[in-house]
């Protein structure tokens, strides 16, 4: 299992959970106290699209100094 807090420019930070299977991830989600209706299964490109950004149109994607 890998659990990270992802920080990307232009969008809020979010918790990312990766595992060997969906069941393993869902088990950790439950242990952390989240419900399945509180999660999304998307890659970062689709998360950006949710906020109205197309990564193919952003040419200089850098973290601000205070978010490094």
Structural contact between residues 32 and 26, judged by C-beta atoms closer than 8 angstroms: no
Sign of CA dihedral 48, 18, 60, 8: positive
Give the separation between CA 60 and CA 10, rounded to whole angstroms.
12
Cβ neighbours, 10 Å, residue 2: 9
Calculate mean pLDDT across residues 57-65.
70
Q: pTM of this prediction?
A: 0.73
- pLDDT tens profile 3-58: 999 999 999 999 999 999 999 999 999 999 999 899 999 999 999 999 999 988 88
Give the per-residue pLDDT at 68.
Answer: 44
11-to-1, 21, 55, 62 alpha-carbon distances in Å: 24, 27, 12, 12
């Amino acid at each position: 299992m890998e659990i990270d807090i992802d920080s990307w420019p232009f969008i809020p930070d979010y918790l990312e959970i990766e595992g060997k299977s969906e069941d393993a991830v869902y088990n950790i989600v439950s242990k952390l106290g989240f419900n399945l209706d509180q999660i999304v299964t998307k890659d970062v490109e689709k998360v950006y699209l949710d906020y109205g950004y197309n990564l193919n149109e952003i040419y200089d994607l850098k973290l601000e100094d205070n978010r490094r």
